[in-house]
Amino acid sequence: MLSFETLSKTYADGTHALSAITIDVAAGEILALVGGSGCGKTTLLRLIAGLDQPSAGRILLDGEAILEPRADVGVIFQEPRLFPWLSVSENVAFGLSHLSAFEREGLVANALVRVGLAGYEKRWPRELSGGQQQRVAIARALITRPKLLLMDEPFSALDATTRASLHGHLLALWAESRPTVVMVTHDVEEAVTLADRIIVMQPKPGRIFDELDNPLARPRDRLSPSFEATKREALRALDRSLRDEEPRQHKTAETAGMWW
């Protein structure tokens, strides 16, 4: 559905942000990208969103190269980025200008119920908490039923309770239309809660270090031993990626033993 073919990105100042990234994402899959800061996660998401162009390689969405932002790709950023001059319902309805007012109202009302904000239609963004604003951003991104949803650390500024509740809302909305999702997170528990597959990246240049399939069926119980085990495995991969800056094959047990 979505594929990256030997995707590389070098910025004008020479920063090699991504090197030869190749990934295939299946329709309806939720893919999480984790890794230390500077390993190119945001760069990759911006390329998929069509906000920037790769230096080499291609990104194909259903066989078509992504060259610019598209209406069928939704994006949720770390900050809600609501339009301050629009009410909550106008923000949510932003991508629905092709519909009649009646159809828009119905969809917006339903979307606000789904993110737990029924009754907030007429409020202004400034009258909402950070968590409520992010709920509006989620409703706005999903109301157009995008076939691809991109999220860059969308829950990282929120407290743990709000984050857990938004995970639930997001999964409920995802279950309705099953968009393909690519999300960046630094929170391994979030990745294990939401994702089907977790890609661990490494910096300088940004590249894939490891890949884990999430074996857990949904709904997932964070307190179950299998959740703990999956989380531990993902944390171990992340720890390894943060420890070895060198590719793994260069560090044999023997040479490591010589120095420790």
Residues that bind ligand ADP (CB under 6 A): 11, 13, 15, 17, 37-43, 206
Q: Cβ 204 to ligand ADP, closest distance in Å?
A: 7
Contact 192, 227 (CB under 8 A): yes
Question: Which has the closest alpha carbon to 30: 198, 234, 216?
Answer: 198
Residue 133: its H or E element:
helix 130-142
- Measured CA to CA, the distance from residue 195 to residue 181 in angstroms comes to 9
Q: How far is the CB of 14 from ligand ADP (least distance, A)?
A: 8
13 binds, among ligand ADP, Mg ion, none (CB under 5 to 8 A by kind): ligand ADP
Q: Which stretch binds Mg ion (CB under 5 A): 36-44, 86-94, 104-112, 208-216?
A: 36-44
Q: What is the C-alpha to C-alpha distance for residues 113 and 107, in angstroms, rounded to an integer?
A: 10
CA 156 – CA 253 distance, rounded (Å): 37
Contact (Cβ atoms closer than 8 angstroms) between residue 118 and residue 106: no
**Least distance (Å) between residue 58 CB and ligand ADP:** 18
Instruction: State which residue, 37 or 97, has the beta carbon closest to ligand ADP.
Output: 37
42 touching Mg ion, by CB under 5 A: yes
CB of 93 to ligand ADP, least distance (A): 30
In the complex with Mg ion, which residue's Cβ is closer, 74 or 203? 203
Q: Does 43 help bind Mg ion (rule: CB under 5 A)?
A: no
With CB under 5 A as the rule, give the number of residues binding Mg ion.
Answer: 2
The CB-of-52 to ligand ADP minimum distance in angstroms stands at 8
Backbone torsions φ then ψ of 59, nearest 5 degrees = -120, 125
38 binds, among Mg ion, ligand ADP, none (CB under 5 to 8 A by kind): ligand ADP
Gyration radius from the chain CA atoms: 20
Nearer to Mg ion, 143 or 151 (CB): 151
Residue closer to Mg ion, measured from CB, 42 or 230 = 42
The 10 Å Cβ neighbour count of residue 50 is 17
Q: Is 132 in the site for Mg ion (CB under 5 A)?
A: no
DSSP secondary structure code for residue 49 in this structure: T
39 binds, among Mg ion, ligand ADP, none (CB under 5 to 8 A by kind): ligand ADP
Choose between 34 and 128: whose C-beta lies nearer to ligand ADP: 34
Distance of CA 110 to the CA centre of its chain: 23
- Asked if residue 205 has a cis previous peptide bond (ω within 30° of 0), the answer is yes
Q: Which is nearer to Mg ion, 170 or 184 (CB)?
A: 184
Name the residue with the smallest CB distance to Mg ion.
42
Residue with Cβ nearer Mg ion (42 or 133): 42
Taking the CA atoms of 201, 33, 62 and 96 in sequence, report the sign of the dihedral they define: negative
Q: In sequence order, what E strands does 48-164 have?
A: 56-61, 64-65, 73-76, 148-152
- Sites of contact with Mg ion (CB under 5 A): 41-42
